[in-house]
Structure 1
Amino acid sequence: MEWRDVGRVLGTRRLGESDALVELMTLGHGRHLGVVKGGRSRRRAPALQVGNRLEVVWRARLDEHLGQFTVEPVDARAAGLMADPLALNAVQTLAAHLRLLPERDPQPDLFAAFEAMLEALDHPRLVGELMARFEMAVIEVLGFGLELSECALTGERAEIADLAWVSPKTGRAAGREAGRPWADRLLPLPAFLCPERGGAASDWGRETTADLAAALALTRHFLARHVWEARGIDPPSTREAFLAGLWKALAEADAASAPQ
C-alpha cells in the first residue's frame, strides 16, 4: 500500500532510540499516523515540529497497518512561531482540536481552514474569527453541530428570524425577540456564525471584540459539553493562553484606533 499527500504536523512522539511516531493532518487522508525513521535525528527533527507542512509518502504492507512516512518539508514555519506566543498558541490549539477527529477520515474543509489560519497569524482580529469558525466546524464534524436553520421558538426560517441566541442544552437557536425573555438562560449567538449572515471570506476579520468573545465562549461551551467532558479530557491549555494573548492584542488595537 502506498499513497502521496500533503499534510501539517499535529504532533510527534518518541519511538525507540531514533525514530518518531508522527501525527499529521493530511489533505486527502485526514488525521493519519505513521513512523518516520530517524525522525529524532538533528537532520529530521526540525521538519517534524507542529505546524510544518510536509509532502509525505505513506507505505505499509496492509492498509490497516501503522505504516511509515517518508517526508519532505515544504513550509517549515514552526521556528518562526516560537517568537510569537499568540501564533504559537493558536497553532497548538488547532492541532489539539484536529486530534479529536477520527483517524483516516478525510476532512478537506478543515484542512483548508487550518491552512487559512496559518496565513492569518499576523492579523489577530481575523485569527479570532477563524478560530471560532474552526471550532464550530469541528463541533459539526464530530456530530454535535448547532441547529441554526430556524428559530426553535417560532419555527421561522433563519433568513427571517434574526437568530441571536442558542440554548446551552439543545444547541438550537432562537430569534432575537422570541428569545429575549429567556436571555439570561441562553448563550449569545454572534451574527457572523449564522450561515446565512456569515458574509464573504473577503469581509472576515472585522468583528467586534465583544462578538468574538461571545463566539469563542459559545464554541467552548459545546466543546466542553459534548467532547472534553464526554471523553474525560481536559481542554487544551494552549486555548486559554491563545485567548489571553488575543484579548491583549485586540485591546491594544482598539485603543490605537479610538478617537483621541
Structure 2
Amino acid sequence: MHLNAQAIVLAIRPHGESGAIVRALTAEAGMLAGYVRGGRSRQLRPVLQPGNVILGDWRARTEEQLPALTVELIHSRAPMFREPLPAAAFEWATALTAAVLPEGQAYPQVHSALGGMLDAVEAAPAARGWAVALVRYELLVLAALGFGLDLDRCAATGTNDDLAFVSPKSGTAVSRSGAVGYEAKLLPLPRFVLAGGAAAWDDILDGLRLTAHFLERDLLHGRTAEVLAARTRLIDRLKRAVA
C-alpha cells in the first residue's frame, strides 16, 4: 500500500514513547490512519493539529498493516486555536468526521465540504460567518452515511408548501398546517436549511438542535463521550457569543 496525497488532519492519538497515530481525510481514498514516528515531537506537534492540511505519504507492506505515515505541512490553521470559538469549531468538526467515517472509503463531497467549512471559520472567526456552514456540513455527513433528512415535502400533507418542522422519528419535513396540534413533538426546520443564505441566531441554534438529534441517534450512539463533549463545548461557546 502506498499513497501520496493532500489530507486534512482529523485526529491524533499518542502511541509509544513519542509516536502518534494520525487519522486524516483525503479526497481520493477517504479517511486513512497512519503511524507518524516522532509525531509528538516539538517539530511535528504544530504540523499535526486538527484542521491542518498536510501532504501525507502512507506506506505499508500489506493491507492489514498500519501504514507508516510521513507528513509535510501545506497549510496551518493552528493560529485559530488561540481563539476559543474557532478552536471549538475545529475540534468538533474534525472529531465528528474522524468518529463516523469508515476508513478507506472515498467521500469527496465530505472532504470538500469540511475544507470549505474550516476555510470559512478561518476567514471569519466570528461565528456568524460560519455557523450556517457548520449546520450544512452536519447535514451533509448524515446524508453521505445514509441518514439524510427528507425535506422535499410534508409527511402529513404531501405538499412542499410552508415546511416548518421535522419529525424526530422519520427525519421527514412537516408543514405548518400539517403540524397543527403536534408542534411540541416536532423539531423546528429553519428556513435557511431549505432556502440557503444567511440566518438569524435563533434559526442557527434551531439548525444545530436539528442536526444534533439525528447525529446522536444515528451516527454517534454508543460512541465515546469525548466526541459529544466537543460539540457541547462548541454550543456553549456559541450561546455565550450571541448572548
Query: Normalized against structure 1, the TM-score is what?
Result: 0.85
Change (3 A) 1:21 1:233: closer
Partner of 1:37: 37
CA contact (8 A) 1:97 1:138 kept: no
Partner of 2:95: 96
Q: Residues 38-57 of structure 1: matches in 2 within 5 Å?
A: 38-57=38-57
CA contact (8 A) 2:110 2:144 kept: no
> Partner letter of residue 42 of structure 2?
R
User: Is 1:84 the equivalent of 2:76?
Assistant: no
Q: Residues 1-260 of structure 1: matches in 2 within 5 Å?
A: 1-78=1-78, 80-99=79-98, 100-121=100-121, 122-156=125-159, 158=160, 161-194=161-194, 197-198=195-196, 204=197, 206-229=198-221, 231-234=222-225, 235-251=227-243
Stretches (4+) displaced over 6 A: none
Q: Who wins on radius of gyration, i.e. which is larger?
A: 1
> Partner letter of residue 93 of structure 1?
W
CA RMSD of aligned residues (A): 1.7
> Partner letter of residue 240 of structure 1?
T
- Of Structure 1 and Structure 2, the greater helix share is in 1
Gaps of 5+ in 2: none
Q: CA deviation at 1:125?
A: 1.3
CA contact (8 A) 1:53 1:74 kept: yes
Query: Normalized against structure 2, the TM-score is what?
Result: 0.91
CA contact (8 A) 2:55 2:71 kept: yes
> Partner letter of residue 126 of structure 1?
G
Q: CA deviation at 1:232?
A: 4.7
Gaps of 5+ in 1: 199-203, 252-260
Q: Aligned partners of 1:176 and 1:113: how far apart in 2?
A: 31
Q: CA deviation at 1:225?
A: 1.7
Q: Aligned partners of 1:173 and 1:107: how far apart in 2?
A: 26
Q: Aligned partners of 1:83 and 1:43: how far apart in 2?
A: 19
> Partner letter of residue 141 of structure 1?
A
Deviates more, 1:112-121 or 1:217-226: 112-121
> Partner letter of residue 180 of structure 2?
R
Q: What secondary structure sits across from 2:174 in the alignment?
A: strand
Q: Aligned partners of 2:217 and 2:37: how far apart in 1?
A: 39
1:1-32 C-alpha deviation (Å, 9 max, x unpaired): 21211111111122222322111112221111
Q: Aligned partners of 2:65 and 2:193: how far apart in 1?
A: 40
